[in-house]
Chains A and B, each alone.
Chain A
Amino acid sequence: MNVLTKPRWSPYTVGAGIGILSWITFGLMGKALGVSTTFVRLAGLIESIFVPAHVKANGYYAKYIIEQPAVDWQMALVVGLFIGALVSSLLGRSHKVEHVPKLWASRFGPGKGYRYLGAFVGGIFVLIGARMAGGCTSGHGISGGLQYAVGSWVFFVVLLLSGVATAFALFGKEGRKNV
Chain B
Amino acid sequence: MFKFDSAQNLVLGLVAGLVFGFLLQRGAVTRYRVILGQFLWTNHTMLRVMLTAIVVGAIGIYAMHQLWAVKLHIKDTALLGNVVGGAIFGIGMVVLGYCPGTGVGALGEGSRHAIFGLLGMLVGAAVYAEFHAALKKSLLKVADLGKITLPGTSHISPWVFIAATAVIAAIVFRLLHGRDLVAGPE
Q: Do A and B bind each other?
A: yes
Please give the residue numbers on chain A whose beta carbons come within 8 Å of chain B beta carbons, in ascending order.
6-9, 11-33, 35-36, 38-40, 42-48, 52, 58-61, 65-66, 68-89, 92, 94-104, 112, 115-168, 170-171, 175-176, 179
Please give the residue numbers on chain B whose beta carbons come within 8 Å of chain A beta carbons, in ascending order.
1-5, 9-30, 32-33, 36-43, 45, 48-61, 64, 68, 70-79, 81-114, 116-130, 132-133, 135, 139-140, 145, 147-151, 153, 158, 161, 173, 181-182, 184-186
Q: Which of A39, A74, A89 contacts B13 (CB 8 A)?
A: A74
> Once the chains bind, are A166 and B95 in contact (CB under 8 Å)?
yes
Does more than half of chain A's interface fall in helix, strand or loop, or is it mixed? helix
Starting from the known contacts A84-B23, A167-B94, 13 additional A-B residue pairs (CB-CB under 8 Å) come to A8-B184, A19-B60, A25-B16, A28-B12, A81-B101, A84-B22, A84-B105, A88-B22, A149-B149, A151-B148, A153-B150, A167-B39, A176-B181
Q: From A92, which residue of chain B is reached at the shortest CB distance? A: B26
Q: Which of A30, A68, A147, A179 contacts B43 (CB 8 A)?
A: A179
> Once the chains bind, are B2 and A70 in contact (CB under 8 Å)?
yes
Q: Which of A73, A129, A144 contacts B90 (CB 8 A)?
A: A129
> Once the chains bind, are A103 and B108 in contact (CB under 8 Å)?
no
Given A19-B57, A85-B30, A159-B86: A136 and B99 interface contact (C-beta under 8 Å): yes
